């Protein structure tokens, strides 16, 4: 299973590419060795024989099985995909989910779907790394804002590649306000998916200018003898970012993370940008 969020745009593109590949593969098999592979004509949706059931103790565990003969199966379950006849998956997010099934045959493809309900988030899935829960307030949702009252007075800036503070250059809080980013907010939650919401406010913070809905993923990374967590933002980004200054503009090192403070770093070649946020409502 691919440990990703329910990212519709990305998954649809991926599904299209895989379907094309499988159809080409199917045509080769049927042309070269029809007796061995035996792909049949395109079935109707009503004739598809599949089962989607849940574990009676832990309903995050899903059992998928195709019993339709002479087709190539493809499953899309939102958090990943499978091309197995029979597979067991884990959907870690509570809520209603749609399991999509595509049958590929000589005559083309036909699709159907099944809906399931997962009762609770899978706590074991989000247990490690701890950044899953710290970023999102144990899944319930946490909003992070600029750490405007941080004792150093430095919210953002540039320093060496592995820096944890902006020593080379840092704009003043007044300059940050002039740039119109000082009242930006970002929220992480695990309600149905690993959701990321970015809110850009007006320069005085009185109104919302733009709201972006995206997703996030966090994981542990080892570089040499260093082990740390990263967070990846999809379909959106954090406040005050610039896509031109790093090879992966939506991936950040987490060099500091508590219930109240969040320090992010994006490394470039010989330099880094550093951001300091705090939990909304927290004061130093």
Q: Is the pLDDT of residue 5 over 80?
A: no
How high is the mean pLDDT of the chain? 88
Strand 251-257 vs strand 61-66: parallel, antiparallel, or unpaired? unpaired
The span from the first CA to the last CA of the chain, in angstroms, equals: 42
Which of the four pLDDT bands, split at 50, 70 and 90, describes residue 192?
Answer: very high
| pTM higher than the cut 0.85 | no
DSSP helix/strand/coil, 18: helix
Place of tokens 């200018």: 209
d(C-alpha 37, C-alpha 35), whole Å: 6
Q: Is the pLDDT of residue 30 over 80?
A: no
Q: What is the pLDDT of residues 143-169, one digit of tens each?
A: 999 999 999 999 999 999 999 999 999
Strand 251-257 vs strand 185-189: parallel, antiparallel, or unpaired? unpaired
Tokens at 202, concatenated = 């007006």
Instruction: Tell which wins on pLDDT, 61 or 12.
Output: 61
Domain 8-118: top CATH class: mainly beta
Matching CATH number, 131-279, of 2.40.128, 2.60.40, 3.40.50, 2.60.60 = 2.40.128
**In the chain, domain spans:** 8-118, 131-279
Residue 40: per-residue pLDDT = 78
DSSP 8-state class, residue 31: H
Residue 39: per-residue pLDDT = 75
Residue 79: per-residue pLDDT = 84
């Amino acid at each position: 299973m691919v440990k990703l969020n329910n990212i519709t745009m990305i998954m649809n593109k991926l599904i299209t590419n895989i379907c094309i590949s499988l159809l080409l593969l199917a045509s080769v098999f049927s042309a070269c060795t029809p007796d061995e592979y035996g792909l049949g004509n395109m079935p109707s949706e009503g004739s598809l024989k599949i089962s989607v059931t849940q574990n009676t103790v832990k309903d995050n565990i899903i059992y998928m099985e195709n019993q339709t003969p002479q087709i190539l199966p493809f499953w899309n379950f939102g958090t990943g995909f499978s091309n197995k006849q029979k597979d067991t998956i884990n959907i870690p997010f509570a809520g209603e989910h749609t399991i999509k099934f595509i049958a590929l045959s000589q005559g083309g493809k036909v699709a159907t779907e099944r809906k399931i309900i997962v009762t609770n988030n899978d706590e074991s899935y989000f247990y490690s790394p701890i950044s899953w829960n710290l970023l999102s307030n144990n899944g319930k949702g946490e909003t992070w804002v600029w750490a405007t009252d941080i004792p150093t007075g430095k919210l953002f800036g540039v320093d060496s590649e592995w820096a944890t503070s902006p020593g080379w250059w840092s704009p003043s809080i007044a300059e940050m306000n002039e740039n119109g980013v000082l009242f930006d907010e970002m929220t992480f939650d695990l309600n149905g998916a690993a959701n990321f919401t970015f809110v850009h406010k007006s320069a005085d913070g009185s109104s919302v200018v733009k709201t972006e809905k995206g997703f996030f993923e966090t994981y542990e990374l080892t570089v040499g003898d260093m082990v740390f967590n990263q967070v990846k933002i999809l379909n959106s980004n954090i406040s005050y970012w610039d896509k031109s200054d790093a090879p992966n503009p939506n991936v950040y090192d987490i060099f500091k993370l508590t219930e109240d403070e969040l320090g992010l770093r994006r490394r470039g070649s010989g330099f880094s940008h550093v951001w300091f946020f705090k939990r909304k409502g927290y004061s130093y």
